[in-house]
């Protein structure tokens, strides 16, 4: 299942006043939209920009950059069209001007999408509602059943693309577009901290929230250890990299001992047992399997629970093959599978000074530690 995250950032931010459009101003040292993009790491991120902002978008963490249109709705439509034919099944549509969206909120929307064609966060209106004119209160309104809509708004991709194509324009958000097409949209609990930067004064509030951390951070740590024996062969797979070697490694899957240790560390951090629980060695379908499947599954479980990888550290114990020349490629491959920046991944190696089974070159061992943050 491929989930795309569309981050709309093609507006001009006129209500926020003079200067750079709000999504390009700095918040905690980074452009506002960069915070929003980072929150969706691991998904196929589409950044929608104004045609004049190409240079500003360079180097931002987005897999696709698309030019938006005159309205928010046009911008979303441009991104949905750009995703056609890419195998996307679900899409999360988020304002680039909401930099404080949390992993837990994203997980709630995705969770609700499992049983609905649309899902979006909202907060019940808690203040009294008035009408007013010329600085005077002119009336009151019943607030029962009224909600403030937030993003990300999540949908089945085909359904929301069809809804946008059929819509005549003028919708405030994608829930309105979806509902006009008869799609059901489930509501999940929004967050006060998930504010949309709209007026100049909102920046100070967002900066303060960032400085103190918007919520208690949940930190989980796990470790993993694995061993595979050498057998006949001409290569080994280690941390997703194929290394020519005079022997192979024995295992039900591709016997990637380093990837298995890391996968177990993530399962450990989630109290989810180990690879054997999720991919039993007795099941023939995993014979010769690419261990990337296991690592991607563990990270998928983590994200479904609102966690992302803080960092991980893998140590491979062997006399040979020499790991140093391959460590960079291993780091890059593990990061790619987990959908994180390579700076969060460390791969190193040690010999055991010719002692024990690794010293006698009977097999390879690997240890890993992973920290998950929510
Ligand atoms: N043509 C547009 C208009 C808006 N947006 C994006 O939609 C989000 C929510 O819109 P809003 O807060 O209204 O942003 P602006 O339109 O930029 O603000 P303003 O109305 O003050 O000009 C923002 O991330 C904005 O960049 C967009 O991608 N394309
Ligand atoms: C989509 C939205 O963020 C939902 O609250 C909002 O409608 C977009 O901002 P705007 O100020 O209405 O353009």
14 in contact with ligand 1, CB cutoff 6 A: yes
Domains of the chain, by residue range, sit at 3-128+143-211, 219-373
The alpha carbons of the chain give a radius of gyration, in whole angstroms, of: 24
List the beta bridge partners of residue 313.
346, 369
DSSP E strand stretches across 232-285: 235-238, 241-244, 248-249
Instruction: Say if residue 69 carries a ligand binding annotation.
Output: no
pLDDT tens by residue, the chain, 374 residues: 789 999 999 999 999 998 899 999 999 888 999 999 999 988 999 999 999 999 999 989 899 999 999 999 999 999 999 999 999 999 999 999 999 999 889 999 999 999 999 999 999 999 999 999 999 999 999 999 999 999 999 999 999 999 999 999 999 999 999 999 999 999 999 999 999 999 999 999 999 998 877 555 679 999 999 999 999 999 999 999 999 999 999 998 999 999 999 999 999 999 999 999 999 988 888 888 999 999 999 999 998 777 889 999 999 999 999 999 999 999 999 999 998 888 999 999 999 999 999 999 999 999 999 999 87
Residue position matching structure tokens 């070159």: 361
User: In the structure encoding, which two tokens stand for residue 332, read together?
Assistant: 């890059």
208 in contact with ligand 2, CB cutoff 6 A: no
> Structurally, what CATH architecture does the domain formed by 219-373 represent?
2-Layer Sandwich (3.30)
Helices 103-113 and 292-304 cross at an angle (nearest 10°) of 100
26 in contact with ligand 2, CB cutoff 6 A: no
For residues 311 and 221, is the Cβ–Cβ distance under 8 A? no
Instruction: Say if residue 74 carries a ligand binding annotation.
Output: no
For residues 257 and 226, is the Cβ–Cβ distance under 8 A? yes
pTM over 0.90: no
Instruction: Say if residue 88 carries a ligand binding annotation.
Output: no
CA of 61 to the centre of ligand 2 (A): 23
User: In the structure encoding, which two tokens stand for residue 163, read together?
Assistant: 């809804």
> In 3-state terms, what secondary structure has residue 3?
strand
| Residue 325 backbone dihedrals phi, psi, to 5 degrees | -65, -15
For residues 177 and 74, is the Cβ–Cβ distance under 8 A? no
Q: What CA–CA distance (Å, rounded) separates 235 from 222?
A: 29
Query: What dihedral angle (degrees, nearest 10) is formed by the CA atoms of 101, 102, 107, 113?
Result: -20
How many Cβ atoms sit within 10 Å of the Cβ of residue 4?
24
Residue position matching structure tokens 């919708």: 171
- The ipTM value here is 0.95
68 in contact with ligand 1, CB cutoff 6 A: yes
> In 3-state terms, what secondary structure has residue 253?
coil
> Nearest Cα to 150, choosing from 185, 180, 183?
185
> Structurally, what CATH architecture does the domain formed by 3-128+143-211 represent?
Alpha-Beta Complex (3.90)
């Amino acid at each position: 299942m491929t989930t795309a995250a569309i981050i709309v950032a093609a507006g001009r931010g006129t209500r926020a006043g003079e200067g750079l459009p709000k999504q390009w101003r700095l918040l905690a040292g980074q452009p506002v939209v960069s915070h929003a993009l980072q929150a969706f790491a691991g998904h196929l991120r589409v950044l929608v920009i104004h045609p004049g902002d190409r240079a500003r978008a360079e180097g931002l963490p987005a897999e696709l950059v698309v030019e938006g249109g005159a309205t928010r709705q046009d911008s979303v439509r441009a991104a949905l069209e750009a995703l056609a034919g890419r195998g996307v099944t679900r899409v999360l549509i988020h304002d680039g001007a909401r930099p404080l969206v949390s992993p837990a909120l994203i997980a709630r929307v995705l969770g609700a999408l499992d049983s609905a064609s649309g899902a979006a966060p909202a907060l019940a209106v808690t203040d009294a509602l008035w009408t007013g004119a010329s600085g005077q209160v002119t009336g009151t309104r019943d607030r029962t059943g009224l909600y403030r809509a937030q993003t990300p708004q999540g949908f089945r991709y085909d359904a929301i693309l069809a809804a946008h194509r059929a819509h005549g324009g003028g919708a405030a958000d994608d829930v309105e577009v979806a509902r006009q097409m008869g799609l059901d949209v489930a509501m999940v609990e929004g967050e006060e901290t998930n504010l949309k930067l709209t007026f100049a004064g909102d920046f100070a509030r967002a900066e303060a929230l960032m400085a103190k951390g918007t919520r208690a951070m949940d930190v989980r740590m796990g470790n993993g250890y694995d061993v595979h024996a050498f057998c006949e062969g001409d290569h080994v797979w280690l941390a997703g990299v194929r290394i020519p070697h005079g022997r192979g490694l024995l295992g039900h899957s591709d016997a990637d001992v380093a990837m298995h240790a890391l996968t177990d560390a993530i399962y450990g951090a989630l109290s989810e047992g180990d690879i054997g629980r999720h991919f039993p060695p007795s099941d023939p379908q995993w014979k010769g399997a690419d261990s990337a499947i296991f690592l991607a599954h563990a990270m998928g479980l983590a994200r479904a629970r609102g966690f992302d990888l803080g960092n991980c550290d893998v140590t491979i114990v062997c006399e040979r093959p020499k790991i140093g020349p391959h460590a960079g490629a291993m780091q890059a491959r593990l990061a790619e599978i987990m959908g994180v920046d390579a700076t969060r991944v460390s791969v190193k190696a040690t010999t055991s000074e010719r002692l024990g089974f690794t010293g006698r070159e009977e097999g390879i061992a690997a240890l890993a530690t992973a920290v998950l943050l929510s």
